[in-house]
């Protein structure tokens, strides 16, 4: 009887795990992906969508043909319950799917409740729908300009996107001839500029400070957001930041239905895993990407999260698949890649400029860390976007 591998989720983590598992195990395994979305989304490009530089079609593709070509079954449904003891997953149509190995790659949802008024009075760019809403608000802003605030709330982990949107906003204001008339403010839970949720990198604070000074951007550091009113951000210290346009990055949470399985997730809905990406309680259940819990190795005055998207997500998926393949072959699942030991590889875009971020480890202590500013970073991100969408659309998940 062939091994049944079930993958929940179909973005960076899910598509990588499913296609690689099928590639490595071939006819020895039936691989099935269950996902409420039938679209792959290249999230790093969402920073451009509100400004009309991209639209939905530019950064998404239909995953069904990709899976069909790879010999992977795709089920366009949402999982609603996991029963690890019976090795069953219930779907939203009431049917169940049995598995021998389960990979949870269900991604994130926004914590819309972290700040009262956030959903009603600000925009965000963490999903395609939200980025499109941010674009509609931006077009209204251009008709009636005023002050702009870009913020990352307490507990947020996607600081890279906040910085990218901040600098792209400054670039777009210059293009619109509004730069001298609009006050642009960055509000962040980070204890210092360039913390990024990964403890910062050498000279990062100075480099980001230079960027902000050059662009005339004011900053409020290490501060939480108390509420968002119509036209003003209320901060934890009682002060306010007025705005005509606000983009706020909230914290992420795991998917709600995961809480229904006792012993599976922490209070935020993230699955607690070992360095093998097996869950703490079940050897045949894995979690990868944003869905996996990561311990924060520090405390900051205002809480910050950790970014788990992109390159770290792929590394988790490759590690999990290596262990599943070992188990199928009757071997010990001994491949390990602790999140903190995954290299940091990121390109921060800034409109027509940017920063390439490289480090030997995601989290300190590190031996090497490097930030390379310049227009080549912008060009590199443009090239990487095209390459990565081609790579994933055609199922070349083993390519770098």
For residue 73, indicate whether it is catalytic.
no
Structural tokens at position 83: 């029963």
DSSP 321: H
The torsion of the CA quartet 318, 271, 310, 134, rounded to 10 degrees, works out to 150
The count of other CB atoms within 10 Å of the CB of residue 357 is 21
Catalytic residue among 346, 348, 359, 363: 346
Run of H or E residues at 327: helix 311-328
231: left (phi over 0), alpha (psi -120 to 50) or beta: left
Catalytic residue among 5, 158, 328, 359: 158
For residue 318, indicate whether it is catalytic.
no
DSSP track, 325-388 = HHHHTT--------GGGSPEEEEEE-SS-EEEEEES-SSSS-S-EEEEESHHHHHHHHHHHHHH
Distance CA 374, CA 22 (A): 40
Closest to 302 in 3D by CA, of 115, 165, 112: 115
Q: Which residues are catalytic?
A: 158, 346
């Amino acid at each position: 009887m062939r091994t049944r591998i079930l993958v929940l989720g179909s973005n960076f983590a899910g598509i990588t795990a499913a296609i690689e598992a099928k590639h490595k195990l071939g006819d020895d395994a039936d691989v099935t992906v269950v996902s409420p979305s039938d679209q792959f989304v290249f999230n790093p490009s969402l920073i451009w969508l509100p400004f009309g530089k991209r639209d939905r079609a530019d950064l998404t593709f239909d995953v069904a043909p990709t899976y069909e070509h790879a010999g992977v079954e795709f089920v366009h449904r949402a999982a609603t319950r996991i029963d690890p003891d019976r090795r069953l997953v219930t779907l939203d149509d009431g049917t169940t799917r049995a598995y021998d190995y389960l990979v949870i790659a269900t991604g994130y949802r926004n914590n819309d409740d972290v700040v009262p008024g956030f959903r009603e009075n600000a925009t965000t760019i963490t999903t395609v729908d939200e980025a499109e809403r941010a674009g509609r608000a931006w077009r209204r802003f251009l008709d009636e300009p005023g002050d702009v605030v870009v913020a990352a709330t307490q507990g947020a982990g996607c600081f890279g996107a906040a910085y990218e949107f901040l600098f792209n906003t400054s670039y777009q204001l210059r293009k619109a001839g509004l730069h001298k008339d609009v006050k642009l403010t960055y509000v962040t839970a980070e204890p210092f500029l360039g913390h990024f949720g990964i403890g910062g990198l050498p000279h990062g604070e100075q480099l980001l400070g230079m960027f902000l000074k050059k662009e005339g951007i004011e900053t409020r550091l290490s501060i939480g957001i108390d509420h968002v009113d119509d036209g003003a951000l209320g901060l934890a210290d009682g002060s306010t930041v007025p705005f005509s346009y606000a983009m706020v990055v909230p914290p992420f949470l795991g998917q709600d239905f995961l809480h229904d399985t006792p012993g599976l997730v922490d209070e935020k809905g993230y699955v607690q895993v070992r360095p093998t990406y097996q869950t703490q309680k079940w050897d045949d259940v894995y979690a990868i990407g944003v869905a996996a819990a990561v311990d924060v190795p520090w405390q900051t005055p205002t809480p910050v999260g950790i970014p788990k998207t992109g390159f770290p997500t792929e590394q988790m998926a490759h590690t999990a698949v290596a262990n599943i393949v070992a188990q199928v072959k009757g071997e010990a699942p001994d491949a390990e890649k602790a999140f903190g030991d995954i290299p940091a590889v990121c390109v921060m875009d800034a409109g027509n400029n940017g920063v390439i971020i490289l480090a030997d480890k995601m989290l300190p202590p590190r031996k090497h860390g490097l930030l390379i500013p310049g227009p080549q970073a912008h060009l590199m991100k443009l090239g990487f976007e095209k390459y990565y969408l081609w790579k994933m659309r055609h199922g070349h998940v083993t390519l770098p």
